Amino acid sequence: MSASCRKCCLTLFFVAALAAATAANAGAIFYVSSEGEDSHDGKSPETAWKTLEKVNAAPLLPGDSVLFRRGDFWRGSLRPHNGEEGACILYGAFGSGEKPGLLGSIPMDTPDLWQDTGHQIWESRPPGADKAGTLFPCDVGNIIFDQGRSCGVKVWEDRDLDRQGKFRYDPERHCVMLFSSKNPALQYASIECALREHVIAQNNAHHVVYEDLAVRYGAAHGIGGANTHHITVRRCDFSFIGGGDQSGGGKRVRFGNGVEFWANAHDNLVEQCRLWEIYDAALTNQNSGERVQQFNLVYRYNVIWNCEYSFEYWNRPENSLTHDVCFENNTCVNAGAGWGHAQRPDPSGRHLCFYDSPAPAQNIVIRNNIFFEAAGNALYAPTWSEKELKALVMDYNCWFQHSGVMALLKPRNYTMPEFPAYQSERCQEQHSITADPLFADAAFHLPENSPCVDKGLGLGPGLDIEGRPVPQGPAADIGALEFSLHKP
């Protein structure tokens, strides 16, 4: 058996094992709705709980499920309980309609919440107060206007509040100052001030499943936390995430990923999710500072667009270890086209972003993906040595970068017309193509004549992001959406 076949078999084995290990046992089911009451027992839709605080404090047992009512939303940070092997804790949805929303923001669309300080600068104030005061417990990293039609521009000094939409967070008074030609609540239909907290905070979490949730408007990570294992994120949406001040003080570094696995991480799966408008990376596993191991991490059948990075990876220090990471059948579009790109001190826009990573790595599989247009580079690994680059197993991808450097590597770079030289010199991607995937619509479906149809590597039976069996034709398609004449 060839080395590539062995790697393929290994990938299939641990993906199957991961899916089995993260299945949830039948335990108690608890319901949460906006019409519920925390004094209820939560055991039926009619006796549902009401708040995230109740969910976080509930004495859940392995195998239990918490279901949020579709069409409702909750503000704050979900802090999951841990399951065990064969009995995960499930956080999901019930009912019909839009996915239940978890929002990491405070709404500011009431005129009384703003005070005119003159010169078109408006200051947030608590309800009933006559001046600014404690309303925001931590940094506000982004302001989302009119449900994402536009975003605020974060600045650090009062003198920079000089045009519509610019804002500053005052850490001493815990308030926001916003430039607006009139009361912001009259200028905009909705105003969401995103707080610097993970919307789902999962430090040391294990055997947890998140399904069918909409995670929005947080200024840290959508899902973030260190030392996790047996985590499944499935059919979730992540949007307008990140932008918070990472460290405070004078560093002024903003951050925020859609789903991040930090430090030790293994047997985690992210599949069939949609991620857009993320300040940093849509998906990432990374580490710095302590010796860790990251392995058996799978990202598949996700659609990613308008994020600064589609996938980011690095692991430090050199005595850490990474192996068996799969990024497969994802559709990645317009890296660097998001809300934060123009506000960054380091605008880049990359689909695959590999920073300095001295930890030994092997079998990082990048397969069956569409990488369509990036403001910077589709593939970025300029500090990786030839030895480090051998950890990458890349093939059956579709690349399209109409101008600029597509792959920024050592010792040379490659444009899209130079892709044949890249294939030859790197001994990679012999079945990959450079072509416009010809997206049929804004949801990135493939038309019948797309060059991605039937051009993927068969990785065994599976479901695309819309639940469509793969393959539909003689071979799997490249990307997260399998072409079919029939709806799933």
Q: What is the pLDDT of residue 289?
A: 87
Q: What is the pLDDT of residue 16?
A: 60
Q: What is the pLDDT of residue 132?
A: 80
Q: What is the pLDDT of residue 3?
A: 44
Q: Mind listing the pLDDT tens digit for each residue in 157-181?
A: 999 999 999 999 999 999 999 999 9
Whether 2 has a pLDDT exceeding 50, the answer reads no
Share of the chain above pLDDT 70, in %: 94
Contact 465, 481 (CB under 8 A): yes
Q: Say which residue the tokens 């994120």 belong to.
A: 233
* Omega of the bond leading into 471 within 30 degrees of 0 (cis): yes
Q: Mind listing the pLDDT tens digit for each residue in 53-72?
A: 999 999 999 999 999 999 99
Cα(38)–Cα(48) distance, rounded to whole angstroms? Answer: 8
The tokens describing 292, both together, are 């860790």
Q: Mind listing the pLDDT tens digit for each residue in 339-358?
A: 999 999 999 999 999 999 99
Question: Going by C-beta distance under 8 Å and a sequence separation of 6 or more, which residues neighbour residue 285?
Answer: 260, 261, 262, 265, 268, 294, 297, 313, 315, 322, 325
Average pLDDT over residues 217-231: 98
Whether 478 has a pLDDT exceeding 80, the answer reads yes
Question: Going by C-beta distance under 8 Å and a sequence separation of 6 or more, which residues neighbour residue 27?
Answer: 61, 62, 63, 64, 65, 87
pLDDT band at 130 (very low <50, low <70, confident <90, very high): confident
Contact 369, 479 (CB under 8 A): yes
pLDDT band at 24 (very low <50, low <70, confident <90, very high): low
> For all residues of the chain together, what is the average pLDDT?
94
- pTM reported for the whole predicted model: 0.96
Half-sphere exposure of 314 (CA within 13 A, CB side): 16
β-strand partners of 30 = 66
Whether 283 has a pLDDT exceeding 70, the answer reads yes
Whether 366 has a pLDDT exceeding 60, the answer reads yes
Whether 196 has a pLDDT exceeding 60, the answer reads yes
DSSP 383: T
Q: Mind listing the pLDDT tens digit for each residue in 420-430?
A: 999 999 999 99
For 98-127, give one letter per residue: b (16+ CB within 10 A) or e: ebbbbbbbbebbeeebbbeeeeebbbbbbe
Average pLDDT over residues 269-279: 98
Contact 260, 286 (CB under 8 A): yes
